[in-house]
């Protein structure tokens, strides 16, 4: 079974037109669960309002599906259904007032991606300012969310932001859909080893993205190899970025069967693949509480 740490499917749900993922098929494609990320372009005038709209669209869609459920905690997990975790991607969606964060949390959002490709009032992004981290407001924000059962997602964040967050936060942390910068160093959106080490020292995970541009000519297995060889098998997960990328080297959820085969042929044990595909995240998700 697979628990995918990042899918941009909510935009397609809102449009009623699907691409990589058709949610009703995911369970039959061996998906136990997925994080559905709700992304709003930074240039939108009222990103919080638009995020609420798209969240409402996702929730309304799921309420009509008997084989899909939205979960807020590990204890809600149902192995006979597709389990969706709600995420919001980009601090520009919730950086005006803490009440925005609280509203998302009350709605059921449990994954908060601190930046997108743009920096915001809380933190800097890798593509804009890799050597700048949390702002003063961002440091206060991290303190305020300590008592909430949420996961901070550090994909897109600058290396300094990752280091700052990992130094002061009490929440679980992941980099949900980040390829390894050491294998594709020209693309700063990928995560540096220094940042990976900080995430792993917080018992966090790095989910490997399926974008060819992110992978940089290497395979998904190559990036998994780098993570396992340098940081251990318990640090690795899957964060496909399905429906958010146009150059996926694995074209659909069904393609993960081939990835499993490739990993086994490379010498990974079945138990290793289970950890990468699902087990590592479930362990972290359980700790969230």
pLDDT one-digit tens code per residue, 23-72: 999 999 999 999 999 999 999 999 999 999 999 999 999 999 999 999 99
> What count of other Cβ atoms lies within 10 Å of the Cβ of residue 168?
13
- Spatial separation of the C-alpha atoms in residues 31 and 4, rounded to whole Å: 8
18 pLDDT band, cuts 50/70/90, is: very high
Q: Is the pLDDT of residue 286 over 90?
A: yes
pTM over 0.75: yes
- Spatial separation of the C-alpha atoms in residues 212 and 227, rounded to whole Å: 18
- Spatial separation of the C-alpha atoms in residues 206 and 174, rounded to whole Å: 6
- Spatial separation of the C-alpha atoms in residues 273 and 52, rounded to whole Å: 36
| Residue that the structure tokens 């640090």 belong to | 235
Q: Is the pLDDT of residue 146 over 90?
A: yes
What are the tokens at 165?
């967050």
- Chain segment 173-195, per-residue pLDDT in tens: 999 999 999 999 999 999 999 99
DSSP tag of 211 = B
162 pLDDT band, cuts 50/70/90, is: very high
Beta bridge partners of 7: 36, 242
Instruction: Say what the pLDDT of residue 189 is.
Output: 97
What are the tokens at 174?
């992941």
- Spatial separation of the C-alpha atoms in residues 263 and 255, rounded to whole Å: 13
DSSP tag of 112 = E
List the Cα angle 218/190/125 in 5-degree steps: 165
- Spatial separation of the C-alpha atoms in residues 238 and 255, rounded to whole Å: 13
| Residue that the structure tokens 């996702």 belong to | 58
Alpha carbon 66 to chain centroid distance? 25
Instruction: Say what the pLDDT of residue 214 is.
Output: 97
- Chain segment 120-139, per-residue pLDDT in tens: 999 999 999 999 999 999 99
Query: In the predicted model, what is the mean pLDDT of the chain?
Result: 97
Q: Is the pLDDT of residue 80 over 90?
A: yes
Instruction: Say what the pLDDT of residue 289 is.
Output: 87
Q: Is the pLDDT of residue 97 over 90?
A: yes
- Chain segment 205-242, per-residue pLDDT in tens: 999 999 999 999 999 999 999 999 999 999 999 999 99
**CATH superfamily label, 2-287:** Metal-dependent hydrolases (3.20.20.140)
The domain locations on the chain are 2-287
The residue-averaged pLDDT of 11-22 equals 96
Cα distances from 220 to residues 105, 185, 211, 240, in angstroms, run 33, 16, 9, 10
């Amino acid at each position: 079974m697979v628990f995918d740490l990042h899918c941009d499917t909510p935009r397609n749900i809102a449009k009623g037109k699907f691409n990589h993922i058709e949610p009703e098929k995911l369970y039959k494609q061996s998906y136990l669960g997925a994080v559905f990320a709700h992304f709003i372009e930074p240039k939108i005038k009222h990103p919080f309002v638009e995020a609420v709209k798209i969240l409402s669209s996702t929730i309304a869609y799921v309420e009509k599906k008997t084989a899909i459920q939205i979960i807020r905690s590990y204890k809600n997990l149902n192995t006979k259904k597709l389990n969706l975790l709600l995420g919001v991607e980009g601090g520009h969606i919730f950086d005006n007032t803490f009440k925005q964060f609280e509203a998302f949390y009350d709605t059921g959002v449990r994954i908060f991606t601190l930046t997108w490709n743009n920096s915001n009032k809380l933190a800097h992004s890798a593509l804009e300012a890799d050597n700048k981290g949390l702002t003063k407001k961002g440091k206060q924000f991290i303190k305020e969310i300590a008592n909430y059962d949420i996961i901070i997602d550090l994909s897109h964040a600058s290396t300094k932001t990752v280091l700052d967050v990992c130094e002061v936060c009490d929440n679980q942390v992941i980099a949900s859909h980040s390829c390894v910068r050491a294998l594709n160093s020209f693309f700063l959106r990928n995560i540096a080893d220094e940042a990976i080490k900080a995430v792993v020292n917080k018992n966090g995970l790095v989910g490997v993205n399926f974008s060819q541009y992110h992978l940089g000519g290497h395979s998904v297995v190559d990036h998994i190899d780098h993570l396992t060889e340098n940081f251990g098998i318990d640090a690795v997960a899957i964060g496909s970025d399905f429906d958010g990328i146009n150059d996926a080297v694995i074209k659909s959820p069904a393609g993960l069967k081939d990835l499993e085969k490739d990993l086994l042929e490379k010498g990974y044990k079945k138990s290793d693949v289970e950890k990468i595909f699902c087990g590592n995240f479930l362990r972290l998700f359980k700790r969230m509480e």
